[in-house]
Amino acid sequence: MLASILQNVINALQWGSFYALIALGYTLVYGVLTLINFAHGDIFMVGAYIAFFVASFALTTLGLPGWAALALTIPATMVLTSLVGVTLERIAYRPLRRKGAHRLYVVITALMAGLILENGNLAILGASRKAFPPLIHETVYTIGGVSFTNLKIAVIISAFLVFAFLHWVVTRTRVGMAMRAISYDKFAVPLMGIPMDNIIVVTFVLGSAFAGLAGILFAMSYPVLEPYMGALIGWKAFIAAVVGGIGDIRGAFIGGFLLGAVEIMVVAFFPSTFRDLIGFTVLLVILTFKPTGLFGVAKTTKI
């Protein structure tokens, strides 16, 4: 009994790590721009594909051993994915922001950019699924009936490290202070001599890079890639971010793990087709009783 509970906890932590990693990107961008970057799930997908190409290149063309290929793949993917995110910001979001368009139009642009990434990928690479090459040898450890792999542990640890890093960036550094300032008052910030566009680019770099990292980890854990893999997980991560209280780093992190835990627990006790039903019902109930999420602060509305 205890073993199976622990087993489920580990599974939930691993599954929640992916949600948390993607939700962190959503929440960073939202916190600074109040923009729901719906393309973020697809940036995660692009990250997984970039990882696939880099890893295949390193393994076959360069002939590197697995660990070296992994050591090359992680930074290369993070850099390339963040380039994708920044490009998106430059060509799609920034012109709209300069014009002072209603934020819903930016949201629609983001949705469309996500569709372009998905279907462009499908058009270029075809519908056949890609198998991610194994980079490290997966070892299964069993302690007292609880089995876990080194990969699972790596996923969970990296999610925690990324959270700690982002929390440090937002609360302790000058860039983070600027980010919080922008989310506090968008109009006063440029007057204080803070380069708003640069800060926004940094935000997109951070968010997309960690989406790329999530892409690598996801591809290593579930080594089948397809163009629509980012859509559903992206929507769910967004929901996780909102349940935690969007705009708050801790909220996204907790929300991601909460969603992961709910989904794993549902699968453990019910048929797996009930996963979405019960998961989303729980979230609906949470939002009905806590309208700004777990960590969200209710804003006072003035007239």
Partner 1 sequence: MLRYTFHILLILAGGLITWMAYEEMIGLYTLSVLMFMGVNIIMSTSLNLVNGYMGEFSCGHAGFMCVGAYVSSILGVLLFAKDKVFGAPLLDPSLAIYAFPFIVLAGGVAAALAGLLVAIPSYKTRGDYLAIITIAANYIIISVIENLGVIGGSRGFMGMKRVINAMEDVAYLPWMPIWVFLFTVFSVWLLRRYLSSTFGKGVSAICQDEVAAEIMSVNTNKIKTISFMVSSGVAGIAGGLFAYVIGYVNPGSFNILKSTEALVMVYLGGMGSLSGSILSAVLFTLLLEALRPLQIIKWVVIPLLLIILMQFRPEGIMGNKELGDMFPWLKRFYKFK
* Residues at the site binding partner 1, with contacts judged by CB under 8 A: 30, 36, 92, 95-96, 99, 101-102, 104-105, 107-109, 111-113, 115-116, 118-120, 122-123, 231, 235, 238-239, 242-243, 246, 271, 273-274, 276-277, 280-281, 283-284, 287-288, 291-293, 296, 301, 303
If the CB atoms of residues 63 and 291 are measured against partner 1, the closer one turns out to be 291
Q: How far is the CB of 99 from partner 1 (least distance, A)?
A: 7
DSSP lists the bridge partners of residue 141 as 148
Nearer CB in complex with partner 1: 5/123: 123
**Shortest approach of partner 1 to residue 247 CB, angstroms?**
9
The nearest distance, CB 93 to partner 1, in angstroms, is: 10
Nearer to partner 1, 242 or 264 (CB): 242
**What contacts 94, CB < 8 A, 6 or more positions away?**
197, 200
Is the distance from CB of 138 to CB of 61 less than 8 angstroms?
A: no
Q: Map tokens 């069993």 to a residue.
A: 142
As measured in angstroms, the least distance from the Cβ of 125 to partner 1 is 11
Smallest separation (angstroms) from partner 1 to the CB of 293: 7
CA 182 to chain centre: 22
Smaller CB separation from partner 1, 32 or 36 = 36
Q: Which of 62, 60, 228, 71 is nearest to 133 (CA)?
A: 60
**Distance of closest approach, residue 285 Cβ to partner 1, in angstroms:** 9
What is the closest distance, in whole angstroms, from the C-beta atom of residue 187 to partner 1 in the complex? 20
8-22 exposure pattern, b = at least 16 Cβ within 10 A, e = fewer = bebbbbbbbbbbbbb
The encoded tokens of residue 263 equal: 């989904």
Give 120 or 145: the residue with its C-beta nearer to partner 1: 120
Closer residue to partner 1, CB minimum distance, 156 or 263: 263
Other CB atoms within 10 A of residue 123 CB: 11
Q: Which lies closer to partner 1 via its Cβ, residue 36 or residue 199? A: 36
